[in-house]
Amino acid sequence: MVPIPRVGPGAEFEPLRIGRTERVFVLTGAGVSAESGVRTFRDAGGAGFAGDGRRPQGGASIGLWYEHRIEDVATAKGFERDPRMVWRFYSERRRQLPSVKPNPAHQALARLAQEREVFLCTQNVDDLHERAGSPEVVHMHGELLRSRCHSCERPSFVDAAGYFEEPPRCRCGGLLRPHVVWFGEIPFHLERIFAALDKCDLFLCVGSSGAVHPAAGFVSHLRHTGRARCIYLGLERPDNAYAFDECRLGKAGELLPGLVDLR
């Protein structure tokens, strides 16, 4: 029988003891970026680029942002139908990103990686973890500041440019697209991610809704093995709260800096 998780305000919990030999897997979702001011697909009446979005149910076109439907700006079919509009959407996100700064949650995770063995996986496509100092970040949903070809096998490349008029083209003649995972596409680095999950002693999920798969299934995968402690931090109880040992509710930027005891 799976134990019932303890759920409550983060201030009611003791700091986590993390031994020097313990391996920590951290999954971050849109809630972390939202605390820096990044609009997300979970925003009321809005959608964004943090990457951890709830898919509209029953085919409904909810989650509008700047009068764009998710189906139009976050699917391959939408890109093929109107690449110019899609590039305008992501170009605006690129233009806004430099004004967004890492928050205390990003900084606390960067410090943790200096003291313990941390595998940091994010559903977010921004570069806030890198700017906070995290030495290695696995972007399972891609990166906003990279592009790749929609036609050929050319590897993705760094690209912070904005394309507000004509969509850019690859040297093969095909259209370039943002290097992000759209709905219906397979996330990146899954083999590496599951290898790290199977080795971890502590699974720390921060600001992820628990609604977007496969990331939402990581904690259930671990509970079946019984190896790792599974802790959630975020403003709201996630959809997969039942699978965690603890759900510590509150702002990640307030909870993470004092979360762990490294003695």
Tell me the catalytic residues.
Answer: 141
Element spanning 219, H or E = helix 218-225
Tell me the three state secondary structure of residue 262.
coil
Please name every residue paired with 146 in a beta bridge, in sequence order, or none if there are none.
158
Element spanning 198, H or E = helix 190-199
* Residue 3 CB neighbour total at 10 angstroms: 9
Structure tokens, 89:
């959407």
Rounded distance between C-alpha atoms, residue 210 and residue 216, angstroms: 5
Q: How far is CA 29 from the centre of its chain?
A: 4
